[in-house]
Structure 1
Amino acid sequence: MRTQLALWARFVPLPKVITAESLTLTFPDKKKRKTKEPFRREKPVQDNVGDMSREANPLGSHIYFYTHITSKRVIYSLYQNLYNAKAMKQVTFMGKKSVPEALRKDHWTPFLTASFTNPSTGLKAFQHLRELRKLHETNWDIELKSKKMRERSKILQDQRGTSIADLAAIAKRDVKENEKVRIRWMNIYDAEYAKEWPDCVVHDVETQKGIRFHARRMGRFMVDEQGVQIVTKEAVPQLGEDVKEAVPQLEEGVKKAVLRLEEGVKAEAQVEAPKVESIPEVKSEAVPEEPKKSGFAFWR
């Protein structure tokens, strides 16, 4: 077998001129393989929107509403993420295949975020929301009892409308005079599930990208002494001098046209309509009655 040195000698280029340096054995450099650079995630942009710490957002300042995309079941959370151990306690048994083994992230989506100026009011509202949902699940009507189990479970799992109506009732009862509640909607038309909203509620629209994190970035919902006042001012278009001069001329032309139309209508009304001769009455000829047939029939 050839030695490793002899194998490498085959690839050594021959020198054109024999010198002392060329007599020394030189080996070509090994080609280094190109290695891929390690994947480096880009650092998130540090925006100055607000403080997301727990000190700036105490427990109870925000309530997140999550709904199931198919059954419309609702889960309330004090955190911006759904924790499986805490959320599964709110999922009650309503029939076959109504309680999953674990929550799937692709099945639950946020549709509403309620922010309170007073965190203690938010904790009280969170407790009352869960109690009212328990009443909806256990107190059945006579019509609901008469239905089959599968139909009944579908009706009971549709909690999206009742949760919004419960939030409106709690905001009207528990929120004090100096406090406010800001509700950020994914779909503003969901607010129509409630009959009426109290004056302490401020409605806002949120996007799918930032509904879970935007509330904490904004921090606690603070209210000024004067309160929240939403004023909309519509810009009134101002007419130029040329247009103002042309307006009275247009009004005179319109008045003349109206007078001409009235005169034409009166002239048409004065024309007598042609008299129509009386149409002779046509007497209907008497139709002879057919003889009554007996109820018997003879078959041959």
Structure 2
Amino acid sequence: MRLLKASEIARRAAQALKDAKQTVTVKKKNRSKKTPFEGGQQIFIFSHIQRNLVAYSLSRALNACRRNNETLRFIPYNGKKTVPSALRKDLWSPFATISFPKGCGNIGRSVFQKLREYRRRHEHEWGEEITKNPENGYFIAKKKRARKLCDQVANSVADMAYVLGRLDVRGPDNSGEKKDTSALSTTTPSTQNISEQTSIVSSDNKSTYENIGLVGEGTGKLVQIHWRDIRMAEFAQSWSNNVEHGILPWQKNYRDNDIANAKKKLRNEGSLMKRGQGKEKKRERSYAKQVTRQQEDGRTEKVLA
């Protein structure tokens, strides 16, 4: 066995490291470039079936991120038992989907932020029509007031019309801005103040408050909205020209139906088998009773004889 010198061992180790680096670089070059995930290209809107709460999400599944904490965090407390403990699939249904063109993820994230901000203001700023009864002037009960505050479907549709209208191309006379503010039609008058304040901030103090503006404002990007019920779009007075409306595609899960039918068939077969087994057991019992009776009759005859 030949012993190598320390210098030869070091040289071979350096050569092995060099070869390993070369193979790694070759693998990286041959690796296909994957397109990075662009969040914000689609905004998914869900509504509560009983309370008409509205939740915005960037993922298709409502409870896919951090055990519902990310979405539940943006549902404010409007009274006792108004914030659900978890996002149950049987109580939340898809309301609408906002789709932006490819490469406009930053615009989608900015719209997502604005929709959440306006929703938060609707649920924290309201007029007397929420607290007092317009007929007699008395204060409304807490439960009814909480129910009114939780119903944010109309406000959300109006917010969508206003925010997406700001993306439309504006003329030299700022006709688009007037059109956007008129599109914000909700059940509460506080939304008009919100639209006026945001338009003033974005126009007068644009240089000072540049970070709170809307990304892609006035670029004329086309936006598609797919509704579960297209009649919900009528909550807004008008929509800008850059918004296209459609209906959400519904797909029936035939696999679940097949499984349910198979289970039903097995259940019926099992019930039939049980019925057959029950009849056989009854026959055996009746036969056993007859035999015992005959035996008892024979014993009694012997005793009498």
Q: Give the TM-score normalised by the residue count of structure 1.
A: 0.50
Q: Which structure dedicates a bigger proportion of its chain to helix?
A: 2
Q: What's the TM-score once normalised by structure 2's chain length?
A: 0.49
